[in-house]
Amino acid sequence: METTHLLGLVTGILFGFALHRAGFSRCEVVMRGLAFRDFTMLKVMLTAIAVGMVGAAGLATFAPEHAHLKVKSLYVWGILVGGLIFGIGMAIAGYCPGTALVGLGSGVRDGLLAVVGGLLGAFAFILAYPALEPVLIQPLDLGKLTLYETLRLPYLPTALVMAAVLGGIVVWLNRLEAKQRT
Amino acid sequence: MITERTEVSAQAARTVGAPSRVGLPRWFIWGGLIGLAQIFAIATVQPLGVSTAYPQLVGYLADRVAPGFAESQPYLQKIGARIGWEVMLITGIVLGALLSRTLPGGNRIAACESPTLFRASWARGLAAFAGGFLILFGARLAGGCTSGHMLSGIAQLALSGFLFGAAAFTTGVLTASLLLKRANGGR
């Protein structure tokens, strides 16, 4: 096994373990989360994003040789349409591509079914790609834009401020939830 | 029967929100650990991204069954029909979940208990399957999913990540609210 393979496996085990402990093997965490009846999903996601945000900017600033960042291109139509389809699927299944695997690993039947459906959806996309690419992916591709470059702001301070904003939202959600329970 | 299931799910929801033995809330510990896994991924290979592995695995398997398939498909030429970091990552996710379930403290609930329109077991299974199809088709069209576009994209302050998040949450919130509202009798 190559080093890259081993690194992928170790990262996946960490990621899957944390997702499972956070409760994502059960589809209702996502369903209720999207309907704003339970804030677990949002709190876990926003915490993870905030930590990753500070880490990514910190690595890029202090150890750029170790910052393997990968900003995705902003091709507006594909991301918009793909995102809209994704949202419907996420609400129906109660899973996203990662948490479906957590359901599978946890022995949940619906996780297995979502993974099988996902493999079929991926196969359908492979076949549809030549037809979709010129319509939704090539036009209106604005390139690999970031918030700080677009606004001409320095990277690390912007990331710290944004992470603090996300942290603030999490604290607010937590209080809101505590109030709703009483 | 249905009330019973609802109670189970409410109980499960409380367990997730309950503080752990250390005193820190569970969402903080596990959300934080996902963030650390992200930093580890960025420092070693690339940011977390799950959905690429699905077509890579499908392409790899299809090419085994029908040699030449991967070469004939432009999308597989682009992403590579290979077992690499991505496919190992999703293998690890399954193993990590299995490990968490096996070790003490992991939940072992084997079914979805949420009352939705798809209450019958077969309807719920069909919904999981169809939803799975849609999330992968959508994620591949958008070039990423919750992990690649949100956990990684938004964490890198990529505008593509913010757009994907806004689009996915728009239909996600609408669909989930509608399904849960109908299932709970218009409450």
B114 against A150, higher pLDDT: A150
Among B30, B58, B153, which Cα is nearest to A16's?
Answer: B30
Chain A CA closest to residue B121: A110
Q: Which residues contact A113 (CB under 8 A, 6 or more apart)?
A: B125, B128, B129, B132
A35 within 8 A of B176, measured Cβ to Cβ? yes
The two three-digit tokens of residue B59, written as one number: 């392409």
B141: CB partners within 8 A, 6+ apart = A78, A81, A82, A85, A125, A132, A136, A137
- Span B130-150, mean pLDDT? 97
Contact B34 A72 (CB under 8 A): no
User: Distance from CA of residue A40 to its chain's centroid?
Assistant: 15
DSSP chain B: -HHHHHHHHHHHHHHHHSB-TTSSBHHHHHHHHHHHHHHHHHHHT-----TTHHHHHHHHHHHHHSTTHHHH-HHHHHH-SS-SHHHHHHHHHHHHHHHHHHSTT-----S-----S--SHHHHHHHHHHHHHHHHHHHHHHT--IIIIIIIIITTTBHHHHHHHHHHHHHHHHHHHHHHHHHTT--
State pLDDT tens for residues B63-114: 999 999 999 999 999 999 999 999 999 999 999 999 999 998 777 665 566 5
Average pLDDT over residues A8-19: 98
Pairwise CA distance, residues B170 & B184, whole Å? 21
On whether any CB of chain A is under 8 Å from the CB of B72, the answer is no
Q: What are phi and psi of B40, to 5 degrees?
A: -60, -45
Q: Is A144 exposed, middle or buried (0-12, 13-18, 19+ CB in 10 A)?
A: middle
Pair of tokens at residue A9: 């496996």
Q: Tell me what pLDDT residue B111 has.
A: 58
CB B123 within 8 A of CB A51: no
- Tell me what the mean pLDDT of segment B108-127 comes to: 70
Question: Reduced to 3 states, what is the DSSP secondary structure of residue A107?
Answer: coil
> What does the pLDDT average to over A14-37?
93
User: pLDDT (tens digit, 9 = 90+) per residue, A128-148?
Assistant: 999 999 999 999 999 999 999
What's the pLDDT tens digit per position in A41-93?
999 999 999 999 999 999 999 999 999 999 999 999 999 999 999 999 999 99
Choose the closest CB to B89 out of A12, A90, A127. A12
**For residue B122, what pLDDT is reported?**
84
Note whether A148 contacts B: Cβ–Cβ < 8 A: yes
Residue A34: the pLDDT is: 95
Q: Which structure tokens are listed for A95?
A: 């899973």
Nearest to A119 among B54, B128, B163 (CB): B54
Give strand pairing partners of A146: B158
- Mean confidence (pLDDT) of chain B: 86
Best probe of the B interface among A108, A110, A147, A150, by most B CBs < 10 A, is A110
Give the pLDDT of residue B6.
43
Work out the number of other CB atoms within 10 angstroms of the CB of residue B4: 9
A144 touches chain B (CB under 8 A): yes
Residues 19-38 of B with CB under 8 A from A: 25-38
Distance (Å, whole) CA B34 – CA B17: 17
For residue B178, is pLDDT > 70?
yes
Strand partners, A141: A75
Nearest Cβ partner for B85 among A7, A105, A111: A7
Asked if residue A163 lies in contact with residue B93, where contact means CB atoms within 8 angstroms, the answer is: no
| pLDDT confidence of residue A36 | 92
Instruction: Please report, rounded to a whole number, the percentage of residues in chain B having pLDDT higher than 70.
Output: 79
Measured CA to CA, the distance from residue B99 to residue A19 in angstroms comes to 12
pLDDT at B21: 55
Task: Name the H helices within B50-110.
Answer: 53-65, 69-72, 74-79, 85-102
Question: B13 pLDDT exceeds 50?
Answer: no
Report pLDDT for B7: 43
Of A23, A64, A105, which is closest to residue B99 (Cα–Cα)? A105
pLDDT computed for residue B84 by the predictor: 96
Distance from C-alpha of B176 to C-alpha of B185, rounded to nearest angstrom: 14
The gap from C-alpha A118 to its chain's centroid, in whole angstroms, comes to 16
**C-beta atoms of A27 and B114 within 8 A:** yes
The residues that bridge with B158 in the sheet, in sequence order, are A146
Average per-residue pLDDT for chain A:
95
The radius of gyration of chain B's CA atoms, rounded to the nearest angstrom, is: 19
Restricting to B residues 103-142, those with a Cβ less than 8 Å away from any Cβ of A are 105-114, 116, 118, 124-125, 127-142
